[in-house]
Amino acid sequence: MKQGRWILLLLLALLMAEGVRGENIARIDRIQPQALEQQAGQRAGLFSERRFESGGASMRVIGNGAWRITPRPGVREPLLVFYHPYTARISVQEPPGAAVRRQDIFSPDLDPRYSRRALVFPLSGDGPVHVMVEGARYPLRVAVEPGPAYTAADLWHVRLVLPAIGVVLGVSLAVLLFWAMLRDRVYLLYAGAMLFQLLYALCSYGEAYAWPGLSMLARFGAQGIWAVGTLATILLVYLWLDYAGLRKVTPRLAAAVRVVGAYGCGLTLVLLVSPWPADKAWFPDIANALFLLTNAIALVTLVVAWRRGQRHAAYVLIAWVPLLAFTMARALRFSVGERAEPWLEYGLPWVQAFTAVVLALGLADRMLTFRRERDRAKAHAERDGLTGVLNRGGIEHRLDWALIERERERMPVSLLFIDLDNFKQINDRHGHALGDACLRAVTRAVSEQFQYGDQLGRLGGEEFVLVLSGVELPAALRIAEQVGARIRRDCAYVEGVAVAVTASIGAAQARDGDSVASLIARADQAMYAAKRAGGDRVMAEDAPERVPESTKAPEGAPVD
């Protein structure tokens, strides 16, 4: 319910961001025809710009060349606004004969009252304005906006975009800290890909050139934007390969993604920054073609990986497909000279934030999956393959922790050393298979009755130890008697064979300065004392060795 309320509030904010939509332009006329070859070179990625051969009151889009724009009269504090100029350089002369004002998103001296989503020229009156456009790759949406209304709409723009930027930046830096601690490459790839995606968006909007430390990118102009976008694509390719484990699940498709998205884009990047060829006009079309091909192959690869059970491929699809759809819709909208609707213009940065959050959740799930696999491997390594209880290393590790807790909490720790009597004769008489069954029966008897499964371990052969945390020696002796009785009762017959398994048990309590080895050694000595006393009995450490009356049942007597 709370999530639905937040989504509703965001949608209402996007609708309120509609702001200024009236162009307030009486007429647009071309005053300097542009050569057809120049028009042909004016393109927006893969999308050709329309040819502006006619003008008039219906035109609200201009391209490269010289134009005369006539505002409608009566606009309060008129501003001539060119939306999403990208690489365009715009010169404005108003009135005719006045000084020419030039702007582009790379200019360091743009009016700080406005964001850089548009180039803004204050007008002094309602007369015609001469405009020269150079270097445009998208058709430019032009409008004459009332100053107060545009300022309010621009403030909404900043308020809506900055939180999304903060989400992407915050999550990326948090994941970067995880990489600094864990040194897992996928965290570094995630942080790099998200940060370069964010930087590409900021450069495209022009906002990066107003930020301290990033303004230096302005000197590279459009080529800097292209280089950042290409690096973001390369990082994303390697992120998908590692994040979704594509090399293992779909090796051939993963190789195709790497060749096109990493090697192909890398080659174009090298040519872009190298002095040859000098003319870089070819780059956007080639880069966009590689971008589209990379995403097409990557989508197929991720779907195949997901259908083959790779759950992290699903995280990538959930996170990346909406962003890809928004990016393509926005590019198509601009390529035909239409202003993006508020849901599209402001949805894009928020979808970027959504992508960053979903992928971060996938990283958390990936970490949890690895932890579970590690825990399973660790548990498998600590378990005895025959009986399922802890092996020697596992039980010694548990005993070590128990001794540490004893020192910290001042709680007693006791240890029972259990050795099966006459086990060699059982093996010799009935075979090792039945001997193994006897070992499993003993561990079931102890674990099920006393629920000490995680404290019972097999040292080897027929020797077991039972760690009793919080138990002093007198109580440990009583437990040992119960253990012996339970083994005597439940292991008299194993798999229908009368084997009458019994156990000699030694008990010892931890002392100050005890180690795992010393405590086991004292319990072992007590067990050997029980053996020498005839077996099938319990002996405490330091107890006098004597031969008490046997507690064994007479041969042939029933076992309770």
- The predicted-structure confidence for 162-183, as pLDDT tens digits, reads as follows 999 999 999 999 999 999 998 9
**pLDDT higher than threshold 70 for residue 543:** no
**pLDDT higher than threshold 60 for residue 151:** yes
Q: Which residue has the tokens 């309010």?
A: 152
**Helix ranges (DSSP H) in 473-558:** 473-490, 516-532
Q: pLDDT tens-digit profile of 483-507? A: 999 999 999 999 999 999 999 999 9
**Which helix (DSSP H) or strand (DSSP E) does residue 540 occupy?**
strand 538-540
| 412 vs 508: CA distance, rounded Å | 11
pLDDT value of residue 175: 96
* Mean predicted confidence (pLDDT) in 378-404: 89
* Mean predicted confidence (pLDDT) in 305-322: 95
Q: What is the mean pLDDT of the chain?
A: 86
Phi-psi region of 167 (alpha: psi -120 to 50; beta: other; left: phi over 0): alpha
Which of 19-23, 348-352, 459-463 has the lowest average pLDDT? 19-23
3-state secondary structure of 449: helix
Buried b (16+ CB within 10 A) or exposed e, 201-211: bbbbbbbbbbe
* Mean predicted confidence (pLDDT) in 238-262: 96
What is the percentage of the chain residues whose pLDDT exceeds 90? 66
pLDDT value of residue 333: 75
Q: How is residue 309 written in tokens?
A: 């059970």
Q: Cα–Cα–Cα angle for 112, 116, 117, nearest 5°?
A: 145
| 480 vs 415: CA distance, rounded Å | 10
258 vs 379, more confident: 258
Q: pLDDT tens-digit profile of 419-452? A: 999 999 999 999 999 999 999 999 999 987 666 5
